[in-house]
Amino acid sequence: MAFFTNRVALITGAGSGLGKQLALLLADEGAAVAGLDLKPEPLAALASELAGKPFASAVADVTDRLTLAKAVAQVRGQLGPVDLLIANAGIGIENSARAFRAEDFEAQIRVNLIGVANSVEAVLPSMIERRHGHLVGISSLASYRGLPKMLGYCASKSGLNALLEGLRVELKPLGISVTAVCPGWIRTPMTANVAVPASEMMELPNAARRIVSAIRQGRPFYAFPSRLARRARLLHWLPSGLSDWLVRQAHPGGADS
């Protein structure tokens, strides 16, 4: 029997990009998929692609805690208790010191961090009661340190890592796994206008397969691709002055130019 067979996987941001690709892969591996998204049209398209497979969906904004809880209850009523949460919904907005907007910073914190907390709250009590479950948060290599023009995004993903770390320690004795996934750049609609070297942009199917494999293995933390992950770790651990200098070389438009 496949690892995900008869397991209910709840995916936020399931209507497009990485969330959709994960939904398709997990359904192929036997999971019953519950998809949440902001708009009904992408969910309807996903339902068509998953025709004949267990699937339920609901429209919900992860920043709206009460509406999200109702949406989770709706799909749970159709498929059963959630075994796997993939908190994938996220946004990225350019957020530079030279034109700093607290509104843009807040928007990213609300979706990328508070939205995950809301998603966890909606499924965790049932997991604790059953002493079974797996929480997965889609973070980023950008969580390792602050980067120019990505202030809100980096801060939100760093906070997400801390949230997941704390949950992991406390929930392991209760039979609940927690995984933080930190990918580099993935080719999705959100990254369509991001100017990065082609060698650093991963194709969506490959990235999704790697994430599903990490979930299957129960890895507590998974950062990839390995070359970029090593670079991110180095920037995190180097003395601040040297780390800042290296970041300025890599992001000249966000520094002294």
Distance in angstroms (rounded) separating the CA atoms of residues 152 and 109: 7
The SS3 call for residue 203 is coil
For tokens 């709206």, what's the residue? 64
- Give Dmax over CA atoms of the chain in angstroms: 57
Distance in angstroms (rounded) separating the CA atoms of residues 232 and 241: 15
153, 185, 222, 224: the catalytic one is: 153
Distances (CA, A) of 51 to 14, 18, 54, 105, 154: 16, 19, 8, 39, 37
User: Is 144 an annotated catalytic residue?
Assistant: no
Interior/surface letters 7-20, b for 16+ CB within 10 angstroms, e for the rest: bbbbbbbbbbbbbb
Separation of first and last alpha carbons in the chain: 57
Q: Which two tokens stand for residue 180?
A: 């933080």
Distance in angstroms (rounded) separating the CA atoms of residues 77 and 183: 32
Q: Which positions are catalytic?
A: 153
